[in-house]
């Protein structure tokens, strides 16, 4: 067998180049000097061009074709067959895209990120608007390369969730919204918990110390990762031995910082649990963005918002912040962290309203991409939709259309994966408890090993070897996302919390 090893060597080089680009982007969002944006945009664009050139070169195509024949008789779930399947899919997509468009996308998104950060800081959408116009135009040009399609969003959705289309997603979201709104109304009509004690001054250094202790207990390996600060929390992987996360800290919102850290920690645990045999290949990734988000949402919501979690960690929380928490107890923090209040910021939204934030963004994307909404009118449209979906209206752009980083990255089609991940997290949790028994006692003891071992053996270890549908079958024994599982979890939890 000669072709497959040659192909492995080629893709290892490509993955190294991707890791180098990811490292530059991580620096871009963390430590890069403010005025270095123009140089960084050129660097990222050059790397994107080189990667695209190598991935679509005739010699690479020949290696891939020869390797496919060479491994044709291997088992369908073998590393070789799975890798060839993913490489073929990637090649077929990448070969449609001109190198000039790849470079333009990379350079524009790098410059757009800088403009977005400045616009967000000053709450002035006009600073970002020209870049959003250009990114939308580039997204339309990209989508056109995959015509015909039913919806312009389809080629973009497929980049993050293989096989996902608007035709499948729209009724799923519609049905979910129909169930969430009545639940939200019942909660709104109930007495609300007091969370005022969490709006005092919580030392930022103490917040970072507490989140680092929680991450370590979860299983995050600080010898293969680190936590830093950024405007928008994210996870960056530069290989299976270097997976970094970021968070943001607000003195009067300590649980926001913690949940951001735990969310990103869930992403990182996924990457760090992938079989090392897959390193330096495209399989060293999650099965899809939906599955990646299932891990971040599982740890954020089903673990860090649970009562057993706080029965374990509240004593340490109060030890670090004795002043603000002098009169608080475990039950008070549990009620506060699960308070359901329509809010403006998606990353700080409660479990009940969170998916409404995602739906708002998805509807905005469809209108912007289809040209039924202009960029200049987008902030007002956002505010109207916020009132329609959440019953509140942002008072400024930084709390509305500028709050998320994704459009500045050209990541159209990404937002729905947050909702898919939320639904998947409930199914995976249910499966874990069926096999392991109730997890409350382990969480209360701060013993996350049984849960992590289950996730690693059933999901993490496989990386991106299988399609999202096959991955779901292997983890949960079914092939379809079931919103009823998540909705049942919400109804049970919040009826108990709010007494209805």
CA dihedral 385, 391, 393, 399 (to 10 degrees): -90
Any idea how long the chain is? Answer: 500
Which pairing describes strands 227-229 and 243-247: parallel, antiparallel, or unpaired? parallel
- Judge contact between 321 and 206, C-beta under 8 A: yes
Nearest Cα neighbor of 211 from 245, 250, 258 is: 258
Catalytic residue among 264, 271, 363, 365: 264
Per DSSP, helices labelled H in 289-353 are 289-297, 307-320, 330-337
Q: Which residue has the tokens 């007494």?
A: 499
Give kind and range of the element (H or E) at residue 27: helix 3-30
Report how far residue 97's alpha carbon sits from residue 8's, in angstroms, rounded to the nearest whole number: 23
Q: How far is CA 247 from CA 212, 233, 255, in A?
A: 11, 5, 12
Which of 113, 396, 91, 80 has its CA nearest to residue 232?
113
CB 96 within 8 A of CB 111: no
**Nearest CA to 352 among 197, 192, 202?**
192
State the Cα–Cα distance between residues 122 and 100, nearest whole angstrom. 33
264 catalytic residue (yes or no): yes
Q: Is 45 exposed, middle or buried (0-12, 13-18, 19+ CB in 10 A)?
A: buried
Residue with the two structure tokens 């109730």: 438
Which residues neighbour 374 within 8 Å (Cβ) at sequence distance 6 or greater? Answer: none
Q: Looking at the DSSP assignment, which residues form a beta bridge with residue 229?
A: 247
Q: What's phi and psi for 448, nearest 5 deg?
A: -95, 0
Q: Which residues pair with 243 in a beta bridge?
A: 237
Active-site residue numbers? 264
């Amino acid at each position: 067998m000669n072709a497959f090893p040659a192909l492995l060597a080629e893709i290892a080089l490509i993955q190294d180049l991707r890791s180098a680009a990811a490292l530059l982007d991580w620096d871009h969002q963390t430590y890069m000097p403010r005025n270095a944006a123009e140089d960084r945009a050129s660097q990222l664009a050059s790397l994107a061009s080189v990667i695209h050139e190598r991935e679509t070169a005739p010699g690479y195509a020949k290696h891939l074709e020869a390797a496919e024949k060479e491994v044709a008789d291997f088992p369908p779930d073998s590393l070789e067959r799975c890798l060839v399947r993913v490489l073929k899919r990637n090649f077929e997509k990448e070969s449609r895209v001109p190198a000039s468009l790849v470079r333009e996308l990379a350079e524009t998104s790098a410059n757009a990120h800088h403009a977005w950060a400045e616009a967000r800081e000053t709450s002035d959408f006009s600073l970002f608007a020209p870049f959003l116009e250009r990114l939308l135009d580039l997204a339309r040009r990209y989508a056109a390369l995959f015509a015909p399609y039913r919806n312009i969003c389809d080629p973009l959705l497929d980049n993050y969730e293989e096989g996902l289309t608007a035709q499948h997603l729209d009724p799923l979201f519609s049905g979910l919204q129909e169930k969430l709104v009545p639940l939200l109304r019942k909660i709104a009509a109930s007495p609300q918990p007091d969370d005022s004690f969490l709006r005092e001054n919580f030392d930022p250094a103490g917040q970072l110390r507490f989140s680092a202790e929680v991450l370590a207990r979860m299983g995050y390996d600080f010898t293969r990762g680190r936590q830093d600060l950024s405007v928008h929390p994210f996870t960056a992987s530069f290989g299976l031995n270097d997976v970094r996360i970021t968070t943001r800290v607000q003195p009067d919102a300590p649980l926001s910082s913690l949940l951001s850290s735990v969310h990103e920690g869930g992403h990182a645990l996924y990457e760090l649990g992938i079989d090392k045999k897959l390193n330096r290949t495209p399989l060293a990734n999650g099965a899809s963005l939906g599955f990646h988000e299932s891990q971040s949402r599982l740890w954020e919501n089903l673990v860090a918002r649970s009562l057993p979690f706080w029965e374990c960690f509240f004593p340490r929380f109060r030890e670090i912040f004795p002043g603000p928490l002098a009169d608080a107890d475990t039950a008070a923090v549990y009620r506060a962290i699960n308070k359901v209040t329509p809010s403006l910021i998606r990353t700080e939204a409660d479990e009940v309203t969170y998916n409404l934030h995602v739906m708002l963004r998805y509807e905005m994307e469809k209108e912007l991409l289809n040209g039924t909404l202009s960029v200049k009118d987008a902030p007002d449209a956002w505010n109207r939709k916020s009132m329609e979906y959440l019953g509140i209206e942002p008072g400024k752009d930084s709390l509305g259309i500028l709050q998320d980083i994704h459009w500045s990255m050209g990541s159209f089609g990404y937002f729905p994966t947050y909702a898919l991940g939320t639904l998947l997290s409930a199914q995976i949790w249910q499966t874990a408890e069926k096999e392991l028994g109730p997890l409350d006692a382990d969480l209360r003891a701060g013993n996350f090993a049984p849960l992590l071992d289950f996730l690693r053996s059933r999901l993490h270890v496989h990386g991106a070897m299988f399609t999202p549908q096959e991955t779901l079958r292997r983890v949960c024994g079914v092939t379809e996302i079931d919103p009823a599982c998540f909705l049942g979890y919400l109804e049970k939890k919040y009826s108990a919390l709010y007494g209805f």
